[in-house]
Structure 1
Amino acid sequence: MTGIQEKTASVNNLEECLKCTVCTVYCPVTAVNPGYPGPKQAGPDGERYRLKNSAYYDESLRKCLNCKRCEVACPSGVRPADIIQAARIRYSKHSPSLRDRLLASTDFVGGIATVMAPIVNGMLSLRPVKVLMDKTIGVDAHRQFPAYSGEKFTTWWHREAEKGQSAFSKHISYFHGCYVQYNFPRLGRDLVKIMNAVGYGVHLLSGERCCGVAKIANGLIGDACRDAQRNMEAVRRSVFKENRTVVATSSTCVLTMRDEYSELLGVDNSDVRSNINLATRFLHTLVDSGEIKIAFRKDYLKNVAYHTPCHMARLGWGVHSVELLKMIPGLNLNVLQQECCGMSGTYGFKKENYKYSQAIGQTLFDNISAANPDVVATDCETCKWQIEMSTPYKVLNPVSIIAEALDVDETRKLNGLC
């Protein structure tokens, strides 16, 4: 643990902070929670004191969403969110509770829940169970849980897809993540459908673990570091031994592996960082370069509102999802003003955060209602959970919308596969 703390001691150029407070203006937590000092004070300002004396650390830093809107807004390239998260790693005396450990143990909980998905889903929807969780472990009784699938994505892939992937001349490795594996395998199946139609074989990333974002947020840093090391070993095998780039469908998984492994956990990924990509960026780059072509069904008609997740905004890659959706002839696209949904992974599940989580997301919910779409598109699974719980609208990843609209036979012909 000491090694990790030392590596995060100087996370970035905090002295470049101009004290302009634009980060505080864009902070969604500051707007609804007066108990949070804001990213300037909690980040660069506070770090100057903490570097002199660790006693200046304040547990109010746990109120930070880590949405990184402050980093997008900063005119000087300072990363207040990373400074705050690094300070939590180095100085916090808070020991993860049972709730924190359960929320962070996505592989453990997901592996058990999928085996008895109907029972688990039914139990988690019962009001008495929710009240019990609220009173005992601090998961807010109002929070709806995402449903677990009765079959893991990898089970489907081995049974239905694995055999045919070697027939393609080009290949990718898929980092499916916990959400696709345990909650929504359809998204993984949709990616396989698209990639196969444009001539790419899809392979599982051998030895994949959870990206670790929930462990970082809940203080299980040793476990997060071990998972990060294993994931980077898997990525290196894919890139250097199998000559495959790694593609994911979650904007948060991508941001965590590309940026937070090195900045927060001290896990070096410099040799493979550029080979970790988001599915929509990967696809759009191929289309834009003329390497692949995509055809869409003429009968696909839909009004879609696109929500840019905060971590997608931090990556700067929202344009790729938007441009792909714009290619669908029968799709009427409304790109919403970028607002935080307030969920931020496990943050919105916690009793002490729930009312702030909902207050943060209210502007987004109102904007969605005003747009009144057939479906909301977003690249983040926890944004999906928050929006579906707080509005009457269905939410899909852009990959799933593209797969719905895809004319598979025509796309295969355009790419010389027939």
Structure 2
Amino acid sequence: MRDQLGDALLGVLREIKCTFDPKNIFNPGKIFADDHHKIDNHLRENFTRPLELPFQPVLAFAFKDRSFIGNLEQCNGCGGCLKHTGIMCPTFMATGEEVMSTRGRANIIRAALELRANGHDPLKSEELDAALTNCLSCKGCTPECPSNVNLALLKAEMLYARWCRDGLPLRERLLSNVDLLGKIGCAMPKLANRVLGSRVARVVMEKTIGLSARRSLPHYANQRFDKWFGEHAVAGVGDPGRVSAINDRG
């Protein structure tokens, strides 16, 4: 600013600042006070050192340079996700915590990658777990964020890299085999429902696999739907027609 205005005019602006803000309340130390706050300091630590990934991304990114880092850096910190209307971000709307917003999660992922040089695990930390596991992967950030940050895609990439390295956790291993659990539950629905409704069993599940004991679990029907349908099918019906299945996971 001194190069643009000169010392004389800069001194006048400082006098105006002192007149209207004698206690230096507004933007203290940032405007006209001294030369400590310049345009080229207080920047990110890695401003001149690009982020490096400890894994090879496998997903196809649609924006920027089709890379993980390019999508991560799309978050410019505008705070559009810190609101209580619209669809982005539902976890921030529920908690009001910065870490539960799209911006907060992007900053935590960025910080985890930056701290890798200091010996920190870029794929596993308490802060990273809180940011990723509470993301609903609803993709509300993708269409509503001004920069189209796709946090669900970043989350999937980070978790996939961690699980490839450390193995699939018990909770994810169980829930990914829901068909097997269904077959076991349908084989003895009364016993399965009694176990699922037991307070002791739910506390054990909360301690071991992280399913809240306050959450009621769905019960198994006494008769499987395919067997019920076979018993109630209308005889003599011709071509039942075609059924279309839509994959909405992409």
**TM-score range relative to shorter protein:** 0.5 to 0.7
**C-alpha separation in 1, matches of 2:204 and 2:108:** 40
2:179 to 91, 97, 107: 107
Q: Which residue of 2 aligns with 1:7?
A: 58
Aligned to 1:96: 168
What's the C-alpha RMSD, in Å, of the aligned pairs?
3.7
Q: Which residue of 2 aligns with 1:255?
A: 248
Indicate the residue corresponding to 2:153 in structure 1: 82
Task: Describe the SS at the equivalent of 1:40.
Answer: helix
Residue from 160, 168, 173 that aligns with 2:232: 160
TM-score (norm 2): 0.54
- CA 1:74–1:115 in 2, change beyond 3 Å: closer, same or farther? same
Aligned partner of 2:59: which letter? T
Quote the Cα distance in structure 2 between the aligned partners of 1:137 and 1:40.
28
Shift in alpha-carbon separation, 1:142–1:29, aligned structure 2, 3 A: same
Q: Provide the residue aligned with 2:192 in structure 1.
A: 120
Alignment partner of 1:20 is 2:69: no
Closer, same or farther: CA 91–119 of 1 in aligned 2, 3 Å: closer
Partner of residue 69 from structure 1, selected from 140, 150, 167:
140
Following the alignment from structure 1 to structure 2, what is the Cα–Cα distance between the partners of residues 164 and 24? 59
Kept in 1: contact 2:75–2:106 (CA 8 A) = no
- Asked if structure 2 preserves the Cα contact closer than 8 Å seen for 1:11 and 1:86, the reply is no
Q: Please say which structure displays the higher CA radius of gyration.
A: 2
Q: Is the 8 A contact 1:16 1:76 kept in 2?
A: yes
Change (3 A) 1:44 1:84: farther
The one-letter code matched in structure 2 to 1:23 is C
Query: What is the 5 A alignment of 1:19-418?
Result: 19-25=77-83, 26-31=88-93, 32=95, 34=97, 36=99, 38-43=101-106, 46=109, 50=113, 55-57=121-123, 58-60=128-130, 61-91=132-162, 95-161=167-233, 166-168=238-240, 171-173=241-243, 245-246=244-245, 254-256=247-249, 259=250
Partner of 1:71, secondary structure, is helix
Aligned residues: 175
Once the 2 structures are TM-superposed, how far is the Cα of residue 109 of structure 1 from its aligned partner? 0.3
Q: Which runs of 5+ in 2 are unaligned?
A: 1-54, 65-70
Identity across matched positions, percent: 26
Alignment check: 8 A CA contact 1:125 1:144 kept:
yes
Task: Report if aligned partners of 2:202, 2:212 keep a CA contact under 8 Å in 1.
Answer: yes
Q: Which has the higher contact order (CA 8 A, sep 6+)?
A: 1
Work out the CA distance in 1 between the residues paired with 2:80 and 2:140.
Answer: 10
TM-aligned CA deviation for residue 112 of structure 1 = 0.8
SS in 2 for 1:7: coil
- Cα displacement string for residues 25-45 of structure 1 (whole angstroms, at most 9, x for unaligned residues): 332333527483632243388
CA contact (8 A) 1:8 1:90 kept: no
- What is the SS of the residue equivalent to 1:122? helix
Structure 1 residues 295-327: Cα deviation after superposition (integer angstroms, max 9, x where no partner): xxxxxxxxxxxxxxxxxxxxxxxxxxxxxxxxx
Using the alignment, how far apart are the partners of 2:207 and 2:108 within structure 1? 37
Shift of 1:119: 1.7
- Please say if residues 40 and 80 of structure 1, whose CA atoms lie closer than 8 Å, have aligned partners that are also in contact: no
Which is richer in helix?
1
SS in 2 for 1:23: coil
TM-score (norm: length of structure 1): 0.35
Conserved in 2, the CA contact under 8 Å of 1:134 and 1:141?
A: yes
Q: Indicate the larger mover: 44-53 or 114-123.
A: 44-53
Task: Summarize the Cα distance change of 1:147–1:162 in structure 2 as closer, same or farther, 3 Å threshold.
Answer: same
Q: In the TM superposition, what is the alpha-carbon distance from 1:147 to its structure 2 partner?
A: 1.2
CA deviation digits over 1:105-131, x for unaligned, max 9? 110101110111122112211223323
Query: Deviations for 1:32-63, whole angstroms, at most 9, x for unmatched residues?
Result: 27483632243388469849969544333223
Distance 1:18 1:163 in 2: 62
Cα separation, partners in 2 of 1:81 and 1:43, compared to 1, 3 Å: farther
- In 1: Cα distance, 2:208 partner to 2:112 partner: 36
Q: Which amino acid aligns with 1:7?
A: V
Q: Distance in 2 between matches of 1:133 and 1:45?
A: 29
Contiguous gaps of at least 5 residues in structure 1 = 174-244, 248-253, 260-418
- Distance verdict in 2 for CA 1:24–1:53, change over 3 Å: farther
- CA apart distance, 1:67: 2.5
Offset at 1:101? 2.0
Quick one: distance in 2 between partners of 1:152 and 1:109? 14
Instruction: Give the whole-Å Cα distance in 2 for the aligned partners of 1:129 and 1:106.
Output: 18
